[in-house]
Amino acid sequence: MPKGLIVQKFGGSSVANVERIQNVARRVASYRKKGYDLVVVVSALGDTTDELIELANKINTAPSEREMDMLLSTGEQISVALLAMAIHKLGYEAISFTGAQVGIITDASHTRARIIKINADKIKEELKDGKIVIVAGFQGVTMEQDITTLGRGGSDLTAVALAKELCADECEIYTDVDGIYTTDPRIEPRARKIKKITFDEMLEMASLGAQVMQARSIEVAKKFNVPIHVRSSFSDNPGTMITKEVKRMEDVVVSAVTLNRGEAKITICNVPDEPGVAAKIFGELARAGVNVDMIVQNVSHTRQTDISFTVTKPELSKALKITRKVGRAIKAGEVLRDEDIARVSVVGVGMKSHPGVAAKMFEVLAYNKINIEMISTSDISISCIIQRKFVEKAVKALHDKFGLGK
Amino acid sequence: MPKGLIVQKFGGSSVANVERIQNVARRVASYRKKGYDLVVVVSALGDTTDELIELANKINTAPSEREMDMLLSTGEQISVALLAMAIHKLGYEAISFTGAQVGIITDASHTRARIIKINADKIKEELKDGKIVIVAGFQGVTMEQDITTLGRGGSDLTAVALAKELCADECEIYTDVDGIYTTDPRIEPRARKIKKITFDEMLEMASLGAQVMQARSIEVAKKFNVPIHVRSSFSDNPGTMITKEVKRMEDVVVSAVTLNRGEAKITICNVPDEPGVAAKIFGELARAGVNVDMIVQNVSHTRQTDISFTVTKPELSKALKITRKVGRAIKAGEVLRDEDIARVSVVGVGMKSHPGVAAKMFEVLAYNKINIEMISTSDISISCIIQRKFVEKAVKALHDKFGLGK
């Protein structure tokens, strides 16, 4: 009798060369030997995707998104074929499939398609046949048989969606780090690996700059309650479990401190304090596809106010241009930019019932003489924009004061 | 009104790098500008296929043929996407498809699949829409949606089969030579480009070692009477037309001289001259998949005879092993090998009505003191096996004496 079904996902760095592909094959085979049914989702080898994008850009700086998907989907197709061969070499039965072949049906939004449904019959059939099923991550197909890709973090999404569709017992995401940490270990060496974390906390961390998994896959995992195990493809140590609820021994208020240095701040000064003004500014930005993150507007005591917001650095110049245009139209004042900022956040489901967290965070920053430029809060996180040069100091101090260290 | 439909096929060397892809795009666009409907078949970029095979062999020296097809088919998928982008850049509408997407249905003989049928509706639809349709060569899909490849020369086959299915007005095969020559110009600089040649002559030439097109595609072209234009992707000069019948101004007896240095000879001595002996030898070789080419057995005046045959060099050791085994079983004598041979052939539909061709060929070789080891004839060709070191001399002499030079 099979012990259960595991969906395993291996990222590009886990299959970057022949040796690593063989390493993945050995891991998959060892699970098979233990009696598990296995569906393995693989990303493109190492930097293949980036190399293909570069090649495309040499030919056309604005390539058709449909053709881009046609091109990029080859990366995962190469990976699955090679992994199948490596598993065969170890004496186990395996069969590889493209996204199209296993019926991962998406909409037609090329380069960022959304999964509509999965016809998992083929996978079920092959599993029944005793085979390890290897599926190309990151890709799907429209009802019209056009190949699509799912955008950044797409292979994680493939794994989570398959785990849901197949009612898998576990979904393992193998990566080059061995789990989720209380903060970035490159900044704070005393950072601890988190054993268990909730979907909500992970979602906050993903959107606040933790780069292990994309928010989108976690959202889907949360929606369908698919437990995820994030772990390293280079060791056998358990990683971090992401689940719906986490029963913790102690009353942990804050689970992690995150940071993000990838944003810039725009301030539009002396905005007339009239209804509809914010809608005009952010409506224009949205129409141009600019993703605005934090927005702060103070209550105004005069007839004018300042509005500040953050965008990712690659979108800064586009956002500035639009903001200046709208600024002139609504007769606002100067538009300022600041790229030397960083965001530091504390995350934890525990803070819902502990109103003192924000105050404590501000105290820690003040004690360290770090000025807070913007504040934003959610149910389970508090974020502050500070000067970029203070970010390491802030992370270490918060990590220490909230008791996250080893 | 469209001027007509042309199927154009570009080989790997024609799309080996960005510059060459752009070159192909310009050529395709120029035909579109003239008003032609276009279906473009493309091979994998340069050495991609060989690189993928090498990668696979590092992982598994005997890779599954199904997975090999999964792997290799990515090569053409990359080419079609990039060519579509390059054509878009020139301002023309184009859309790329895999073999599976345009319904090139094959049997399940992976790595050497045969086309069963083509559901060309999708192509017709896109042509009607005014688009240039770009199709990945060399690949198809089984009824069960498994990806297959068509084996050596597969992209030519894709082009010819599509030209037939779509009732194209012409099928152009672009390659790195500018047509079919009266002999190999590297050996005989006075070789001339042949303007027109029949399917039968081209078939003989292909099987006798001319490497411009595989025999298989020419067979299909002959079967369905699809005229082929073999020409260079690096120039605008007309190449060689391959058609059913060629009306020649003069009475050309011999069209070309071909050579093949890729074979070796096996001789099995003192074979008992009894019925069924040849069947035993060549039956065993066939069962082992060894392709035997020329076979010579002299009429025997004793109770024993010698049988000689040629095989391709990569199959020599396998063929020797089998021949020795059968030799012992039938109580024959020694089995000899000779790798230092070459085949030289004269080809031409004209020789059907000119019985003196063979005699003239033998005279030319004798005059040049070249010994003939084996002779084989067909309706439109005569081949001699000679010592390898004499092959250039033989080719030049025959090319001259049959009046093929400039």
Taking one residue from A and the other from B, the number of pairs with CB-CB distance under 8 angstroms is 101
Task: Tell me if chain A has a CB within 8 Å of the CB of B270.
Answer: no
Q: Please check whether residue B302 lies inside any domain of the structure.
A: no
What pLDDT does residue A15 have?
95
Which pLDDT tens digit goes with each residue over B183-238? Answer: 988 899 999 999 999 999 998 888 776 677 888 899 999 999 999 999 998 899 99
Q: Do B82 and A71 touch (CB under 8 A)?
A: yes
Closest A-chain CA to B70: A81
**A340 in a structural domain:** no
Model pLDDT, residue A161:
96
With contact defined as beta carbons under 8 Å apart, do B101 and B122 qualify? yes
Q: Does B248 touch chain A (CB under 8 A)?
A: no
Residue B90: its chain A contacts at CB < 8 A? none
CA distance linking residue B210 with residue B207, whole number of Å? 7
Instruction: Determine, yes or no, domain membership for A232.
Output: no
The candidate with the shortest Cα–Cα distance to B67, out of A21, A71, A336, A168, is: A21
Residue B351 lies in a domain: no
Q: Mutate which of A53, A64, A77, A141 to disrupt the B interface (most B C-beta within 10 Å)?
A: A64
**What strands, in cross-sheet order, belong to the sheet with B139-141?**
B115-118, B104-106, B139-141, B147-149
Q: How distant is the Cα of B145 from the closest Cα of chain A, in angstroms?
A: 7
Distances (CA, A) of A230 to A181, A211, B110, B305: 11, 12, 37, 74
- Please report, as a single letter, which amino acid is at residue B305: T
Task: Say if A101 is an interface residue toward chain B (CB within 8 Å).
Answer: yes
Asked if B59 lies within 8 A of A145 by C-beta distance, the reply is no
Model confidence pLDDT, tens digit, residues B340-375: 999 999 999 888 777 788 889 999 999 999 988 888
Task: Find the CB nearest A81 among B71, B95, B146.
Answer: B71
| B324 domain-assigned | no
Contacts 24+ apart (CB under 8 A), A275-279: A277/A330, A277/A332, A278/A307
A143 touches chain B (CB under 8 A): no
| pLDDT-based confidence at residue B293 (cuts at 50, 70, 90) | confident
Task: Pick the residue from chain B with its C-alpha nearest to A25.
Answer: B59
* pLDDT the model gives residue A109: 94
At A194, give phi and psi (nearest 5°): -85, 125
Chain B: closest CA distance from residue A171 (Å): 25
Min Cα–Cα distance to chain B from A46, Å: 14
- Smallest Cβ–Cβ distance between B22 and the set A59, A70, A89 belongs to A59
Interface test with B, best of A19, A48, A67, A125 (most B CBs within 10 A): A67
- What is the pairing mode between strands B94-97 and B132-136? parallel
Among the partner residues A58, A67, A98, nearest to B84 by beta-carbon distance: A67
CA contacts within 13 A on the Cβ side of B152: 7
For residue A147, the chain B residues in CB contact (below 8 A) are 98, 101
DSSP assignment of A269-298: EEEE--TTHHHHHHHHHHHTT--EEEEEEP
User: Would you state the pLDDT for residue A247?
Assistant: 73
The per-residue b/e assignment along A26-44, b for 16 or more CB within 10 angstroms, e otherwise, is ebbbebbeeebbbbbbbbb
B225 touches chain A (CB under 8 A): no
B72 or A250, which is more confident? B72
Separation of alpha carbons A160 and A175, rounded Å: 15
Number of structural domains in chain A: 1
Label the pairing between strands B132-136 and B37-42: parallel
pLDDT at site B10 = 97
Is B67–A96 a contact, with Cβ atoms under 8 angstroms apart? Answer: yes
Kindly report, residue by residue over A78-87, the tens digit of the pLDDT. 999 999 999 9
Question: What was the pLDDT predicted at B274?
Answer: 79
Contact A15, A21 (CB under 8 A): yes
Residue B77 has pLDDT above 90, yes or no: yes
Q: What is the mean pLDDT of residues A60-69?
A: 96
Query: pLDDT: is B252 or B178 the higher one?
Result: B178
Tokens of B212: 């411009």
* A92 belongs to a structural domain: yes
pLDDT band at B177 (very low <50, low <70, confident <90, very high): confident
Look at residue A194 in the predicted model and tell me its pLDDT: 92
Residue of A nearest to B20 (CA): A59
**Rounded to whole angstroms, how far apart are CA atoms A39 and A28?**
9
> Tell me, what's the pLDDT at A147?
97
Question: Of B67 and A377, which is predicted with more confidence?
Answer: B67
- What tokens appear for A69 in the block? 């998907």
Residue B207 maps to a domain: no
Please tell me the predicted confidence (pLDDT) of residue A301. Answer: 66
* pLDDT one-digit tens code per residue, A163-196: 999 999 999 999 888 899 999 888 999 999 999 9
Averaged pLDDT for residues A14-37: 96
Asked if B53 has any chain A CB less than 8 Å from its own CB, the reply is no
The structure tokens 């906050």 sit at A204
Kindly list the residues from chain B whose CB atom is less than 8 angstroms away from the CB atom of residue A100.
100
Chain A nearest C-alpha distance from B82 (Å): 6
ipTM: 0.82
Chain B residues 307-336 within an 8 A CB cutoff of chain A: none
Residue range(s) defining the domain that contains residue B73:
5-176
- Is A18 inside any structural domain? yes
Compute the distance between CA of residue B26 and CA of residue B31 in angstroms, rounded to an integer.
9
Residue pLDDT, tens place only, B372-391? 888 888 888 899 999 999 99
Taking the Cβ of residue A82 and every Cβ of chain B, the question of whether any pair is shorter than 8 Å is answered with yes
Q: Is any Cβ of chain A less than 8 angstroms from the Cβ of B90?
A: no
* Interchain CB distance below 8 Å, A70 and B86: no
Q: Does A22 touch chain B (CB under 8 A)?
A: yes
User: Where would I find the H helices in B224-315?
Assistant: 277-287
Predicted local distance difference test score (pLDDT) of residue B355: 73
Contact B71 A82 (CB under 8 A): yes
Residue B274: φ, ψ to 5°: -125, 155
Give the nearest partner residue to B82 out of A22, A56, A95, using CB atoms.
A56
Closest in A64, A78, A95 to B71, CB measured: A78
B81 to chain A, any CB pair closer than 8 A? The answer is yes
Which of A56, A84, A145 lies at the smallest CB-CB distance from B101? A145
8 Å CB contact of B88 and A56: no
Q: Contact A22/B59, CB-based, under 8 Å?
A: yes
Inform me whether the C-beta atom of residue B23 falls under 8 Å from chain A C-beta atoms: no
Cβ of A59 and B82 within 8 Å?
yes
pTM above 0.90, yes or no: no
Query: Is A81's Cβ below 8 Å from some Cβ in B?
Result: yes
Model confidence at B58, pLDDT cuts 50, 70, 90, reads: very high
Q: Is any Cβ of chain B less than 8 angstroms from the Cβ of A55?
A: yes
User: Is 90 exceeded by the pLDDT of residue A276?
Assistant: no
User: Do A55 and B18 lie within an 8 Å CB cutoff?
Assistant: yes
Residue in A with minimal Cα distance to B21: A59
The answer to whether A74 touches B77, Cβ cutoff 8 Å, is yes
pLDDT for the residue numbered A356: 82
Smallest Cα distance from B89 to chain A, Å: 6
A44: CATH: 3.40.1160.10
**pLDDT score recorded for residue A248:** 66
Of B60, B64, B77, the CB nearest to A74: B77
